[in-house]
Structure 1
């Protein structure tokens, strides 16, 4: 049975925050860390982003709040109501609560009738995990009306006071590059999709042809991680005598090993080639290549690797990203990208989209093939 994305919603908190105001919201951590800002921002290409905290570091919208707002918008744009939801499939990297899962929090805040819930946990790929769960349940006939969401609230754990007392690496109090880098890269926001067993009566729907998620953790070390000071499974933040001790050691800081990022590029191109070799798609037939990537530099690296490996990649004009305008929202980014494309009328019936979401966690790559359709033209 086919499954269709019939409506999408998004929630971007507050007004767009330009680069020069970043530290007004998240504060500064050492002169050296702030000095890296221009270099980091030049490489990533982000001009504005959104924060769910204010300049006094007060949280204005929780992770759950943002997901709920995105779901409400998606449902309002569909032909169902909250009462019709059979499944809530929700993703995030860092939920509001350690337990229960964020899907429980979202269901409670929505106040919709009893239904099945699923929480997918990870980093960027968790959003695709949530969408695939909704897709498969609808395609299997288990559910008729599902919602998938992804939300991230990075600013809450990037604000300067979170680094007070953390072991530093220089006399001016600067934190390690692997922590400082992400403070200028990540943004807040949420996206949601209504997935149904039929296309929308009006407008364009996206038929989900397939979704592929592949982990390479069997051969790769973690590149992005949180919960350990040194990427050790033997000494996690739970193993310290207290949460304060874990925080002081830096075990509660999100880190990224920049030296491993080229591995993600190679793995992403390798996975693309694998699917191409299996005949899962034809690059020449693609209308759009919506891609979540963390920086414009990463895009350049991918294009160079495609050229080096002589891979039949989508032409550059088919790539689509809104990274410069909305920033990097991790798992929520691809939802916000697709919502924007639909809202702006960029997708027409018959268009084929190949969606790509790489994750640098312990390296995973997700792809989805979507076909734009109208009711009666399926």
Structure 2
């Protein structure tokens, strides 16, 4: 029988510190930066986000999300034989957040590595895990998106610091005789590096360049809507499916206007759009698995539903995955 891969469990975690737009505006005002709930909501749809405590790292957020996904899958941690963490904000330069997570979960021996494709990271990681399972190199993969973007925000720039939050989401992907992941479509174009980046790095014990996030919001918006539509249509074509068969569109939760524009281009009613950006902000690689787990636990997404996951992020990277849940 052909080997496919299916999601058998989902999980997520948000750090306890929640900042509403009003909370954030008050903190920024103390630093001489003006913003408001109305300004943020009108432009992004974001109403709140969560920030991790200073001593909490990427792998710390990943642990409870992973544990919840493993529990939902009904397996023991030791049955996991592949760990992939999608992140742009790992605990340290090396080793990988995945290796650190592996140890914290009490697992040893299986391959563990990070994938860095920024906000497209979870879609990339899920595609890699699916390929490894189909090739017979794994049977139960833990795929996690985990981010502490609050560490790389420039709180003097109100156009970016209001957008992002911290969190983690995870899935267990298992080998199956029935199709789960049907098709994927991944892309990158490095000529767009400058419109969304963190241009600093570590050298000789010092930070060279600027270690804070920089973004040209208008350029990102213009590019994102087009490539997300293209990736979704390409994925549908590969799977032999049509857009009207999609039960739920679960996009990267960056900006409600980008999300709604993509749904409209695919001629999907907005009630088929899973939205968590209002409460979580943009959690980069964590946003899709966070939204998926929220929709599963709220009873929106059910077994047998056809899901379109899609993301776009710095690099510029983008991609989509179509799957039967």
Give yes or no for TM over 0.5. Answer: yes
2:187 to 182, 192, 214: 214
Residue correspondences, number: 322
What residue number does 1:367 align with?
Answer: 320
Map 1:1-378 onto structure 2 (within 5 A).
1-22=3-24, 27=28, 30-31=31-32, 33-35=33-35, 38-53=38-53, 59-158=54-153, 175=156, 179-198=157-176, 207-217=180-190, 220-228=192-200, 237-238=201-202, 243=206, 246=208, 251-261=210-220, 262-276=222-236, 280-302=240-262, 306=265, 312-359=266-313, 361-372=314-325
Shift of 1:37: 6.8
Q: Which consecutive unaligned segments of at least 5 residues does structure 1 have?
A: 54-58, 161-174, 200-204, 229-236, 307-311, 373-378
TM-aligned CA distance change 1:29 to 1:102, over 3 Å:
farther
Query: C-alpha distance in 2, partners of 1:29/1:252?
Result: 23
Query: C-alpha distance in 2, partners of 1:3/1:289?
Result: 20
Taking structure 1 as the reference length, what is the TM-score of the superposition?
A: 0.77
Taking structure 2 as the reference length, what is the TM-score of the superposition?
A: 0.89
Quick check: 1:120–1:130 contact (8 Å CA) kept in 2? yes
TM-aligned CA distance change 1:29 to 1:132, over 3 Å:
farther
Query: C-alpha distance in 2, partners of 1:64/1:144?
Result: 23
Query: C-alpha distance in 1, partners of 2:188/2:153?
Result: 27
Q: SS at 1:8's partner residue?
A: strand
Quick check: 1:292–1:321 contact (8 Å CA) kept in 2? no
TM-aligned CA distance change 1:280 to 1:193, over 3 Å:
same
Quick check: 2:186–2:231 contact (8 Å CA) kept in 1? no
Query: C-alpha distance in 2, partners of 1:325/1:138?
Result: 34
Structure with the largest fraction of strand: 2
Quick check: 1:145–1:194 contact (8 Å CA) kept in 2? yes
TM-aligned CA distance change 1:259 to 1:324, over 3 Å:
closer
Shift of 1:300: 4.6
TM-aligned CA distance change 1:300 to 1:348, over 3 Å:
closer
Shift of 1:279: 6.2
Quick check: 1:150–1:332 contact (8 Å CA) kept in 2? yes
Q: Larger C-alpha radius of gyration, 1 or 2? A: 1
Q: Which consecutive unaligned segments of at least 5 residues does structure 2 have?
A: none
Q: SS at 2:84's partner residue?
A: strand
Query: C-alpha distance in 1, partners of 2:287/2:225?
Result: 18
Shift of 1:61: 2.3
Quick check: 1:10–1:190 contact (8 Å CA) kept in 2? yes
Shift of 1:206: 8.7
Query: C-alpha distance in 2, partners of 1:214/1:188?
Result: 25
RMSD: 2.6
Query: C-alpha distance in 1, partners of 2:110/2:307?
Result: 31
Describe the superposition over 1:289-308 as per-residue Cα deviations: whole angstroms up to 9, x where unpaired.
1112311232354467x3xx
Quick check: 1:191–1:332 contact (8 Å CA) kept in 2? yes
TM-aligned CA distance change 1:364 to 1:77, over 3 Å:
same
